[in-house]
Amino acid sequence: MEIKEEKTSDEAQHFLPATQADNLREPQFTSIQRIANESKLEFVLGFCLSLVIRKTDPRVLVWSTGGAETSPSGTDLKSCKDLVATARDRKLNTFVQISVVHPAEQTLTRYSSTEIVEGTRDPLFLTGVTFPPEYPIYEETKIKLTVYDVKDKSQDTVRTRVLSEHKEPRTDVGRNFLGLTTFKVGDLVKSKEQQLTLTLRTSDGGKTVGTIDVSLVKMGEIEEGEVDHITTDVQGQKCALVCECTAPEGISGKDSLPLLNAVLKNPICKLYRFPTSENKWLHIREQMSESTLSFHVPKELINLHIKEDMRRNQDLKELGELAPHWDNMRKNVIAHCEQMLTMYQDTLADLGKHTGSSFKSSCSKGEKTLEFVPINLHLQRMHVHSPRLKDALYDVFTVGAPAAHCQGFKNGGLRKLLSKFEAERRNTGYQCIYYSPENTAKAKEVLSNINHLQPLISSHADLLLNSASQHSPDSLKNSLKMLSEKTELFVHAFKDQLVRSALLALYTARPGCVLKKPTVPRNSVEECGDPQGQDHPSQIQRQNSIPHHSEYDEEEWDRVWTNVGKSLNCIIAMVDRLLEKEDSSSGIKESENDPSSAACMVSHTSGDWYEQLYPLIITLKDCMGEVVTRAKQSMTFVLLQELACGLPQRLMLTLRRDIVFSQALAGLVCGFIIKLHTSLHDQSFLQQLHTVGLIVQYEGLLSTYSEEIGMLEDMAVGISDLQKVMFKIIEAKSNDFLPVITGRREHYVIEVKLPAKMFELLPQEIKEGKQLHVYPVLFNVGINEQQTLAERFGDTTLQESVNQENFEQLKEYYKLFTEKMPPDCLPHFQEQNDLKGLLENLHQNIQAKKRKNVEIMWVAATICRKLNGIRFTCCKSAKDRTSMSVTLEQCSILRDEHQLHKDFYIRALDCMRREGCRIENVLKNIKCRKYAFNMIQLMAFPKCYRPPEGTYGKADT
């Protein structure tokens, strides 16, 4: 963010002309008054300076920033000739540094700078400066502008370390002082056209070397409700967050502010002005924000895991008496599970103690206490104001590849480890019974349904009795309807063959049951659906010494769970009879004139309803309890087998998967909330959201060499696991807008809270609680020197298979989209053939055996944007390669969608990489403004992914 350097009053005055320095001795503390037609401007961009050198005479520098004379069509703006260089025949490499003189503290703060315009005496600056609206600026605050000439950009250290402001940089650090000036903020705000023409002077304030024009720039037509503000770590400080277009009707910035403050934090803003091919100006506002969800989501998720594991451990303990072999197995499993549970609890406690930044830096990848937290998660936003086109907003979420760095990658990542473990587990039948992953997932689903439905059925049964006691026909009907729906779901959950098969396996594990054959029955329910093929009953013999055991009866389970349905039918029949009698009875109507008689009749009838339904309700609960006991024990026995086969590897794999999933989920939740917030006005998007769901596209830049193979394997599984996530939007009932996570490892529901006025804009289906799907896809193309080694001497099969698999999923989503959505819902496209062409292009590029085929990522990103999707860009730490990709995407969008002048494309790209939000991201992570590349590495990069000279070098990552 800002690089600050506080000075004494004498040091600050050293830089100012004498008359201006005198004004500092008695500072005025009048805050800037917000005039009616200026307030919105201030909140959007604060004070924006766009600086351009213009020609006067050979010894004068003229700086301009917009206004009537700054149209790019003017030759004076585009060129500056005959500027005096410090060395003969050397062209200037110039930039302007902006500093703030605070009147209260009488200190000087270095705030920002423009990009370096190199190799010309006719420079044009593209970078502007943004002050947040709550930045401590008053009318008496002074802004200092200093012009420098950089001799060698690769040696210029002004970008990487703070220099003393009271000393002009020595020539041996690579830059020369040219001139400076200062102005009061109040003078700029109160000026007639909000523009000042100032004089550039030498450091002693004597010699005039040029002039500079400073103006207040407006970023498009900002209407009420278009601007929201995000809090920073500095108390009370905010920065503008520009929404896509005008806010939905009835929604103001105040209404959406709490939601954004709950999710985003510590924004960094940059402003650019680029010329178009039509000789107009593009105003671009780039913003990067952290997310509080980086820590909130992992804490919610770990807490959920702890509760789930505690329930499982308790179920194992309540499994009942087992034969010695199975009992020892259970004790061993519980011991390991308790150790893992303690580890989760310790991790949650450590995260609860975390204070400070809302993101995990790349330097903390290996920090054990933060392994569930995503690496370097940020929202990267570009807001474009074009002279002729509607303002547009482009969001990309940047995050380090979800991976278990603390676990290491010596043996590969999740994709390889899970496949290897499953193959080995199939061969451990002599120790335990093998159940396929699908069947263990089904067992967990049955247990979840039990825990969810049993209390609901009991509650609805009690409501039915309460309605009967009140003699309320309408209430009785409604209670019966709810009871019937939940009971039918309950009965349906136990129709699976897995429950019956697991009951048999559990019976064989009880004391007193021995098999005629010495081997344990391999009751793999992957062969379920052929119950006649099971010969387990004939293998079981009852020991006479244990009389409480009887020969196992497979049909007994069918009788038990069908009794629940029969009990429900009895209740339904009884309610129907009671309501029929109520309709035919006229006893109460005939006694309307006799209150005492009517009261007696109501009391008597009410007692009849309750007394007739009560025994039926008790029977239903008893039948349900017997089903729950048997089903719960049988499904817990299945989970026991899953855990026992491969201890402790199974638990370590579960831990690794939880870590990777936690990192992936934090980014997804942040992306969903921001996408929802910016698209509430878009009815087509809202229809797509509840009808089809959202595509979530991940762009991976990992190589398929060395450790990054394991990272990609982790990432592929973590992103695939996001298919288990559903979203539900609810109305916030308090000021807490943080999302809530419910569910279990196989199925999660994220409850997103919206303020009341925003919630009212949603379609009825969403307001009624419809769960919303997401469809994650991953496309990866390695671009660094390690990928060169992989392509020439290694193996790229992993990347090829990941891309092909995810392309098939993207095709399935597109098919679903076209079937359920009208064609006019596709943004920017009038015909679906355009998307078909893009999909075919993507397919061809995936099939092509082309090295570092980055067009795969470009086409996939375009498809995602056209499908209203959520975009992610990932590399190892989301710092270096990710920064190259994000800036490339932003400039490509400006060129393709907003007519950025072709001669300024490379300039704009270098400008964003050198002075934009991404170099600030590098600074946040490693305390150095250097991308972690060297010249040898960059020779292997595609040219468009190489940073400008002077912005890379040795850095501790």
Catalytic residue set: 875
Q: Distance between CA 922 and CA 387 in Å, rounded?
A: 33
The DSSP bridge pattern shows strands 870-874 and 392-398 to be parallel
Q: Distance between CA 903 and CA 891 in Å, rounded?
A: 12
Q: Distance between CA 173 and CA 151 in Å, rounded?
A: 9
Phi, psi angles (nearest 5°) of residue 873 = -125, 130
* DSSP H helix total and E strand total for the chain: 29, 24
As a residue count, the chain comes to: 957
The residues facing 589 across adjacent strands are none
Phi, psi angles (nearest 5°) of residue 329 = -60, -45
Phi, psi angles (nearest 5°) of residue 37 = -90, 5
Q: Where are the beta strands (DSSP E) in 509-661?
A: 513-515, 540-542
Q: Distance between CA 228 and CA 241 in Å, rounded?
A: 5
Q: Distance between CA 363 and CA 877 in Å, rounded?
A: 9
Q: Which of 778, 674, 783 is nearest to 718 (CA)?
A: 778
Q: ω before 387 within 30° of 0 (cis)?
A: no
Q: Distance between CA 116 and CA 125 in Å, rounded?
A: 8
The residues facing 694 across adjacent strands are 774
The residues facing 699 across adjacent strands are 779, 873
Per-residue tokens: 600: 């007696």
Q: Distance between CA 796 and CA 93 in Å, rounded?
A: 43
The DSSP symbol for 853 reads: -
246 alpha carbon, distance to own chain's centre: 24
Q: What would the DSSP string read from start to end of 571-601?
A: HHHHHHHHHHHHHH--HHHHTTT-HHHHHHH
Phi, psi angles (nearest 5°) of residue 152 = -140, 110
Q: How many CB atoms lie within 10 A of CB 632?
A: 18
Q: With contact defined as beta carbons under 8 Å apart, do 359 and 377 qualify?
A: yes
Helix H or strand E segment including 439:
helix 437-469
The DSSP symbol for 929 reads: S
The residues facing 208 across adjacent strands are 201
The residues facing 179 across adjacent strands are 147
Enumerate residues 6+ apart whose C-beta is below 8 A from 228.
240, 241, 243, 253, 256, 257, 260
Enumerate residues 6+ apart whose C-beta is below 8 A from 264.
230, 241, 289, 290, 291, 292, 379, 674
Per-position b or e across 466-491, b if 16+ CB within 10 A of its CB: ebbeebeeeebeebbebbbebbeebb
Q: With contact defined as beta carbons under 8 Å apart, do 231 and 237 qualify?
A: yes
